Amino acid sequence: MSEEMWTNRHSLAENADFKYLKVELKPLKKPDGSVVDDIFDAWIWLNNPKQYNSYTTASLRELCLALDWASTRADVNCVVLTAVDDKAFCTGGNTVEYENDYSWRPQEYRSYMGVFNRMISLILENEKPVINRVNGMRIAGGQEMGLACDFTVSSDLARYGQAGPKHGSAPDGGSTDFLDLYVGFARSVESCVLCEQWSAHKSLHLGLVNEIVPVLKDNEGTWIPNPLVRYDWVDTTSGQIVYGDFLTGEAKKAGLKILKSNKVDLSGLDVAVETLSWKLANTFPGCTRKTLTSVRKKKLHWWDANRESNREWLALNMAVEAAAGFRAFNVGGGVREDGSRISREVDFIEVRRAIARGENWSQDLVESWMPKSSDNNS
């Protein structure tokens, strides 16, 4: 049997043509930067930077194929799941596709969620360690993809969080199963319900990520830590732990000036991923695989218990709150003449009033909740 067959013989996707992802084998690197012959890392890149690397049905299908391909290659040390550009790893599902193809069509969305669920399972059951290289925002479904991975190495400019209850959904693609395993119940429910984002520094402190790397560099080549977060440990007035909280007011304005006057360089992030990969390569592969399988059981237990019932609810919800939430996200946004921002959210108080009145859910009712360009509320 040829060496090529030994390497690829069990893949379902060896000859797949990837249009919406970048998929490549990168040689394993030693700490000195030299290349190891014949052993690789499989890098899978989401490639939709104009829409903050949101995924579509087509890219999810390809992601399933890429994860299977990487899992079954005998010459692959680990999988690196990442995305192009420096603004976002992934911000979840593509809301334009959601509104146009799936709103008011729950059975179609049910099929779509079947593809998404297979993708998450292919991460959780992968034969290789899966590293999430977080190059920017990890929000909503992007957060759920990352939570399914084994390791997270992050840009220190990245943000983490959910979006579901603010935009007509629930984070039932993995976050309600996985997040409390990382950060505990109180922080998990706070993130899943309130949808307030965490900085990379706060995420490291809470135990959500393994490592953060500075990616902002000045003209002299000096790395600059994220200028938009607090580095003091305790607020002396309140006694609250504030490390990693986002700056506000004048301090935020000053941080934004620093951010805009310097450049983002992800080379240090790549080195950190390569360093972790080298550590993983220096273990017995079978023992590492068994260890990962045992540790992943906690995630898989809840994922397998809940994914199908969650899928059914998410599908039905596309004819109710999701139809409103995704439309609001797409029609909102932008800036008014007075400089105030137009919301991407429905008028939640009017939603609650309509429910209290017992009104029938309809497209006309949904339209009445949409963001208004003349509304002075941001």
pLDDT reported for residue 2: 42
Nearest to 68 by CA among 152, 10, 5, 139: 10
Record the pTM: 0.94
Q: Show the CA angle centred on residue 363, arms to residues 358 and 368, nearest 5°.
A: 75
pLDDT reported for residue 1: 34
pLDDT reported for residue 77: 97
Contact 172, 178 (CB under 8 A): no
pLDDT reported for residue 8: 67
pLDDT reported for residue 75: 94
pLDDT reported for residue 333: 87
pLDDT reported for residue 334: 86
pLDDT (tens place) for every residue of the chain, 378 residues total: 344 545 566 777 777 789 999 999 999 999 999 999 999 999 999 999 999 999 999 999 999 999 999 999 999 999 999 999 999 999 999 999 999 999 999 999 999 999 999 999 999 999 999 999 999 999 999 999 999 999 999 999 999 999 999 999 999 999 999 999 999 999 999 999 999 999 999 999 999 999 999 999 999 999 999 999 999 999 999 999 999 999 999 999 999 999 999 999 999 999 999 999 999 999 999 999 999 999 999 999 999 999 999 999 999 999 999 999 999 999 998 888 888 889 999 999 999 999 999 999 999 999 999 998 765 444
Domains of the chain and any CATH numbers: 3-215+266-317 (3.90.226.10), 332-368 (no CATH)
Nearest to 224 by CA among 274, 138, 271, 156: 156
Distance CA 70, CA 72 (A): 6
pLDDT reported for residue 378: 42
Write out the H or E segment, with its range, that includes residue 288: helix 285-317
Nearest to 333 by CA among 345, 315, 320, 347: 345
